[in-house]
Amino acid sequence: MTGRAAALVLTATLLALGTVPDPAAAYRVFVSNERSNTITVIDSETWEVIAEFPGGNRPRGITIAPDGSELYVCASDDDTVRVFDPQTFEELHTLPSGPDPELFVLHPSGNPLYIANEDDNLVTVTDVRTRQILAEIPVGVEPEGMGISPDGRVVVNTSETTNMAHFIDTETFQIIRNVLVDQRPRFAQFTADGSLLYVSAEIGGTVSVIDPETGDILHRITFEVPGIQPELLQPVGVRVTSDGRRVFVALGPSNRVAVVDGESWEVLDYLLVGQRVWQLAFTPDERYLITTNGNSNDVSVIDVAAEQVIRSIPVGQQPWGVVVAPQ
Amino acid sequence: MLRVDYPSLLPLSRLDLPVPDLGLAGAELATQDNATTGGFLGHRYALHSVTTTPEEAPEAFATLMDQGYRIVVLLAEGPEILALADAAPPDALLLNARETDEALRGEACRANVLHVAPSDQMLTDALAQFLVWKRWTDWALIHGSHPADHALAQAYEMSARRFGARIVEWREFVDTGGARVSDSGHVQVQRQIPVFTQNMARHHVVVAADASDVFAVYLPYQTWEAAPVVGSSGLRPVVWHAAHESWGAIQLQNRFEALAGRPMREEDHLAWLALRAVGEAVVRTNSADPAAIRAYLLGDAFNLAAFKGQPLTFRPWNGQLRQPILLTDGRITVSVSPQDGFLHPLSPLDTLGPDRPESACSAFEETAP
């Protein structure tokens, strides 16, 4: 009897296990450490740091090919983009980027790369296969944020001193629209269906919700946390769930990530993360959002469904950017 | 832009030697930045720069007015600013990018002058907050013998009282004239300064109030006691310095150096700020009317990103630009004030300089909300 009961319990346990969702897929998370000149690699199943490798001088913007074959890093003080093998962490080659590359965005097809050159008021378009510069597009003063529409037809650059989002046609390399936003726009993010564009303004303290078809600003998201100076609520990184329902905004020195309703644009919650949070990246399954916390030398992991911070992981010094490899 | 050049001796350090395009280069960069933005909006900007003497300043200003210019950045001292403000036609807007005298923001304020330059007490408060944060609360104050030095010493006294520091020793360094530099002069300095600073009450720091550049640079490492020197040398409160890199400042430094072929000085930064503020108002109001620009700058909607980590705004009661102050040893940004823990119901930036209830300015009452 006893053995039979034990077997039943065991069966029940197995059934229970069978009903929970598949365990999280293990992804590799790459974090650029601006100060220590390294890239930290984290396993998203164990959340252990599995490697740290040299990333060039002052690595900031970081992204990965859609097929996971190449990792791209803006090595700002080297005036180049360094390309790494995401499996072996070997440096493969460099790409011409124009001076002081800070942030970039890859075409959804994996080529080309659109790079903001802060010092030259330019966006440089670089072919990642031929390693040639295809175009240099004059934009406003201090270009930084780069976003691309899901269909790849429009790339948006934000200029930090001009305070505009510049819409660039990716076929003609011409600016087709300029939208004035608030002070020091840092980041541009389209929704997955391309119907909305979110642009954060670090010093203005707002995120503009823009209709990309018309250029109209539909709404300005503002932030307020009791006990925190409004000047410290500085929006930088923005990520939107693929269903468009949730917008996550990194709020810099307020050490918080705002959770925003993607339809009403109400701020639902503020999640406490590490210090001076700037950039964000989802895991490809969107179960987790990873935040880079520059002044506490760590990344925070947010459970997206629960909208809770579940852990923090020490990385190198002054973590800046983050990207998660597809499987 | 109107720059008034005053007769003066050479600076004590040749690193501070005057440059011919002082301030003008900053104004030029701001105009380029504004024009880049304006290019996307169909706005055009033109800069006309004039340098003059104190005697000829009224005439130079009148000529600018005759030529139709109505927005003028002034790199000038208090008496000239007041004279030009009072002589200006009613539709002119002046921006002070140099004078730190408190009175210009107080009892002598003028409704047609906005102050981009910080006041003396904004600077001394910025340093005082840092010293109090460090708990270096006992100060030996050494000031010069000129009126501007006395005014600066008074500002330090006020700052000490505001933030809970004590001036335990006052000394005056009398300017006896003579050449600024002599060959191997350091030999005498090394003997004279220790003696001058002997037998002072126990202090944590030596605060130098030397607006006239007569003695402060001689103090570090030469004092009798091993106390750090702050104020006019050592750790200095400044609007800008060439090593400041944070909050994207490196981009402004690079842009300026590419244009001017030299590092950006405070006067350049202030001129840049003044014209960037104007450009921002033009962009947001779609108007070049000085009255509309002034109203926008003093209103709630205005804020300016200026590589200091938070937006700059104007105090509507006296036209003073609120701004963080850098503390530098000349090599690097040591700290930035306001310091953590100095609180204010409206804006921590208003912990720097006299606050609204203390203001003696009445010229802005019609416009201040």
Q: Is B238's pLDDT higher than 50?
A: yes
- The closest CB to that of B33, out of A161, A202, A203, belongs to A161
pLDDT digits (tens, 9 = 90+) for B101-153: 999 999 999 999 999 999 999 999 999 999 999 999 999 999 999 999 999 99
What is the pLDDT, as a whole number, of residue A17?
A: 46
Q: pLDDT band at residue A119, thresholds of 50, 70 and 90?
A: confident
Pairwise CB contact (< 8 Å): A161 & B305: yes
What is the pLDDT, as a whole number, of residue A24?
A: 58
Chain A nearest CA to B270, separation (Å): 16
ipTM for this prediction = 0.83
* Cα(B264)–Cα(A149) distance, integer angstroms: 39
- How is residue A146 written in tokens? 């780069």
Over its C-alpha atoms, chain B yields an Rg (Å, rounded) of 21
Q: pLDDT band at residue B368, thresholds of 50, 70 and 90?
A: low
Average pLDDT, chain B: 95
- H/E run at residue B272: helix B266-285
Domains within chain B, CATH numbers bracketed: 2-118+241-325 (3.40.50.2300), 121-238 (3.40.50.2300)
What is the pLDDT, as a whole number, of residue A99?
A: 84
CATH of the domain at A292: 2.130.10.10
Sheet of strand B50-52: strand arrangement: B50-52, B2-4, B71-75, B93-96, B113-115, B320-321, B314-315
- H/E run at residue B290: helix B290-298
Contacts of A183 in chain B (CB under 8 A): 303-305, 311
Contacts of A100 in chain B (CB under 8 A): 251, 254
* Cα(A261)–Cα(B225) distance, integer angstroms: 61
Q: Is residue A82 part of a domain?
A: yes
What is the pLDDT, as a whole number, of residue A69?
A: 96
Q: Is residue A29 part of a domain?
A: yes
Contacts of B311 in chain A (CB under 8 A): 183, 203-205, 231
Interface of B with A (CB under 8 A): 33, 36-37, 40-41, 248, 251, 254-255, 258, 276, 283-284, 303-305, 309-311, 347-348
Residues 6+ apart with CB under 8 A from B171: B140, B141, B142, B143, B196, B197, B200
Q: Annotate B152-219 with DSSP letters as a single string.
A: HHHHHHHHHHHHT-EEEEEEE-------S--TTTHHHHHHHHHHHTTTPPP-SEEEEE-TTSSSGGG-
Q: Is B89 left (phi over 0), alpha (psi -120 to 50) or beta?
A: beta
Chain B nearest CA to A241, separation (Å): 29
Residue A103 is part of which domain span?
23-324
Mean per-residue pLDDT for B205-217? 95
Q: Is residue A73 part of a domain?
A: yes
Pairwise CB contact (< 8 Å): A229 & B251: no
Pairwise CB contact (< 8 Å): A166 & B347: no
Total count of domains within chain A:
1
Q: Is A8's pLDDT higher than 70?
A: no
Q: Is B177's pLDDT higher than 90?
A: no
Q: Is residue A226 part of a domain?
A: yes
What is the pLDDT, as a whole number, of residue B184?
A: 75
Pairwise CB contact (< 8 Å): A180 & B255: no
Q: Is residue A12 part of a domain?
A: no
pLDDT digits (tens, 9 = 90+) for B31-45: 999 999 999 999 999
Mutate which of A203, A233, A318 to test chain B, going by most B C-beta atoms within 10 A? A203
pLDDT digits (tens, 9 = 90+) for B300-316: 999 999 999 999 999 99
Pairwise CB contact (< 8 Å): B40 & A140: yes
- Residue A197 has phi, psi (to 5 degrees) of -125, 130
- CA B233-B334-A313 angle, 5° bins: 175
Q: Is residue A6 part of a domain?
A: no
Q: Cis omega before residue B237 (within 30°)?
A: no
Pairwise CB contact (< 8 Å): B37 & A204: no
Average pLDDT, chain A: 93
Mean per-residue pLDDT for A127-135? 96
Q: pLDDT band at residue B367, thresholds of 50, 70 and 90?
A: low
What is the pLDDT, as a whole number, of residue B183?
A: 75
Q: Is A81's pLDDT higher than 60?
A: yes
